[in-house]
Amino acid sequence: MTQAVLGTLYGDHLRELCARADRVLADHGFDGLIVGSGGLRYQYLDDNSYPFKPNPRYAAWIPDATPDCFVTYRPGSRPWLVFHQPDDYWYLPPSVPTGYWVAAFDLQVVRSPGELGRLLGAGGRWAVLAEPSAATAGLGDHDPAGLAMEFDYARAAKTPYEIECMAQASVLGARAHRAAEAAFRAGASEYEIHLAYCQAAGAREEELPYNNIIAFNTHAAVLHYQHLDRQRPNATRSFLIDAGARYAGYCSDITRTHAAGPGEFHALIAALDTVQQSLADRVRPGTDYREIHLAAHREIAGILVRHGIVAGTPEAAFETGLTSVFFPHGIGHLLGLQVHDVCGLAAGPQGGTRPRPAGHPYLRLTRDLEAGFVVTIEPGIYFIDSLLAAAAADGRGRAIDWKRVEALKPCGGIRIEDNVVAGAGAPRNLTREAFSATA
Ligand code: GLY
Ligand code: MN
Ligand code: MN
């Protein structure tokens, strides 16, 4: 992807954002929009800042976010970028941006964010999408609920530019996943795999979309396992890695599970991989995402029965809620500028909630899919002590083959996660595409 092509796609993306703003501002009676990148936050009683995490509503407009900058837009005019470049010798001031997107803006470089008000002048009713700050105090209404909701809701359907950025984030992620697996096979610890991952992704830790989940053995049964052991265990049976990358602000979110060698756990991974791909094939416009989640439970019930983990029929395992013991999270979520992108449960652009299926409290997306939606498909099978104990206590455990469970428990669990685009024709699986491109 050349910068020229990306620039053309970005131009279309920005036109879409401006058209969206024209509509939403008119609907809510505002004359213009101010979107702030956000400021640095400081650690308590300390002069060290936390890593800068830009306002995602700003990142939708600007690919490389810098603290205390603003996009301003009035319908009928070109958008402005008010770019904060402090005069500083403690920290290196940010360079005035260059690149495929900059020419679309009228650029105003300021030494202090407080110059925003002077630049805007008097008059007009502004909607401010930003956390309140000294720079925006008194300029307009901050995050007006109905207006912000409409912008957020629209973000689910990605523009071709956004999909291209996510394809690039997938390539970075796939490359780093390959390096991680090679490190695992070479005997690295969780921590060393993490370092190999960051190096291959070309990312420092704070640039990753979320903390890497790098889990050996029973750690893989902890859904968001957060540590990185420095020591490799004596017997390493399994390796689950949930790790992504960013490109121009957009995320990938990828999970792979590897067995140390052949055997039952390896066969279970292969079975879940087949199911995962059939679920990914359902990512099509018009599909109710809740149906994909429920289909995942039915398919996982089939695996559990075929592999002798659960007795009886797959239908019974589904109907009694037994599958939730082994698959206790949602089948996935919207993905974009945020890993769990906004408005997954929204009933419409004006708000309201589209309910989750009863008994499925962790599903993060309940909307009907539309062209341009990018979602994850991430089924799992885990052996989690507390959930198994609850099943034993409430009677569901009678259908569980406990010997099989005890044999598989030391491997922790399996998750396989791809990022998939709904559109005309077959779904586009960005993750599988990226693994093929980096083979
Ligand atoms: N990496 C977090 C998730 O898969 O949702
Ligand atoms: Mn995910
Ligand atoms: Mn993930």
Average pLDDT of the segment spanning 212-223: 98
Count of CB atoms situated within 10 Å of the CB of 4: 9
Can you say how many angstroms the Cα of residue 356 is from the centroid of all Cα atoms in its chain?
Answer: 20
Per-residue pLDDT tens for 107-160?
999 999 999 999 999 889 999 999 999 999 999 999 999 999 999 999 999 999
| Ligand 1 atom with least separation from CA of 210 | 1
Residue 34, pLDDT score = 98
Amino acid at 342: V
The angle subtended at Cα 326 by Cα 324 and Cα 329, nearest 5°, is: 60
Tell whether ligand 1 has an atom less than 6 A from the beta carbon of residue 341: no
Per-residue pLDDT tens for 262-286?
999 999 999 999 999 999 999 999 9
The sheet with strand 374-377 has its strands ordered as 374-377, 418-421, 428-429
Per-residue pLDDT tens for 224-258?
999 999 999 999 999 999 999 999 999 999 999 99
Sequence-separated (6 or more) residues with CB below 8 Å from residue 23: none
Q: What is the Å distance from ligand 2's center to 245 Cα?
A: 12
Q: What is the Å distance from ligand 3's center to 250 Cα?
A: 14
The angle subtended at Cα 181 by Cα 252 and Cα 235, nearest 5°, is: 130
Residue 2, pLDDT score = 86
| Ligand 1 atom with least separation from CA of 364 | 5
* Rounded Cα–Cα distance for residues 326 and 257 (Å): 16
Residue 216, pLDDT score = 98
Amino acid at 264: E
Ligand 1 pocket: which of 223, 252, 376 to mutate (most atoms within 8 A of CB): 376
Q: Which residues fall inside 5 Å of ion ligand 3, going by CB? A: 242, 253, 255, 417
Per-residue pLDDT tens for 367-420?
999 999 999 999 999 999 999 999 999 999 999 999 999 999 999 999 999 999
φ, ψ of residue 398 to 5 degrees: the values are -60, -25
For residue 377, the ligand closest to its alpha carbon is 2
Residue 123, pLDDT score = 83
Strand 106-110 to 126-129 pairing: unpaired
Nearest CA to ligand 1 atom 4: 253
Q: What does pLDDT average to over the chain?
A: 98
Average pLDDT of the segment spanning 19-28: 98
* Rounded Cα–Cα distance for residues 264 and 266 (Å): 5
Nearest CA to ligand 1 atom 3: 253
Residue 122, pLDDT score = 83
Where does the pLDDT of residue 1 fall: very low under 50, low under 70, confident under 90, or very high at 90 and above? Answer: confident
Amino acid at 121: G
Residue 236, pLDDT score = 98
pLDDT above 90: residue 184: yes
Tell whether ligand 1 has an atom less than 6 A from the beta carbon of residue 210: yes
Average pLDDT of the segment spanning 43-59: 98
Ligand 1 pocket: which of 242, 246, 416 to mutate (most atoms within 8 A of CB): 242
| Ligand 1 atom with least separation from CA of 244 | 1
What whole-number percentage of the chain has pLDDT above 70?
100
Tell whether ligand 1 has an atom less than 6 A from the beta carbon of residue 378: yes
Q: Are 176 and 197 in contact (CB under 8 A)?
A: yes
Q: Are 116 and 70 in contact (CB under 8 A)?
A: yes
Tell whether ligand 1 has an atom less than 6 A from the beta carbon of residue 164: no
| Domains detected in the chain | 3-154 (3.40.350.10), 160-437 (3.90.230.10)
Q: What is the Å distance from ligand 2's center to 255 Cα?
A: 8
Where does the pLDDT of residue 318 fall: very low under 50, low under 70, confident under 90, or very high at 90 and above? Answer: very high
| Ligand 1 atom with least separation from CA of 242 | 1
Average pLDDT of the segment spanning 80-102: 97
Tell whether ligand 1 has an atom less than 6 A from the beta carbon of residue 192: no
Residue with tokens 């909630």: 353
Average pLDDT of the segment spanning 15-42: 98
Amino acid at 337: L
Tell whether ligand 1 has an atom less than 6 A from the beta carbon of residue 418: no
Residue 98, pLDDT score = 96
pLDDT above 90: residue 18: yes
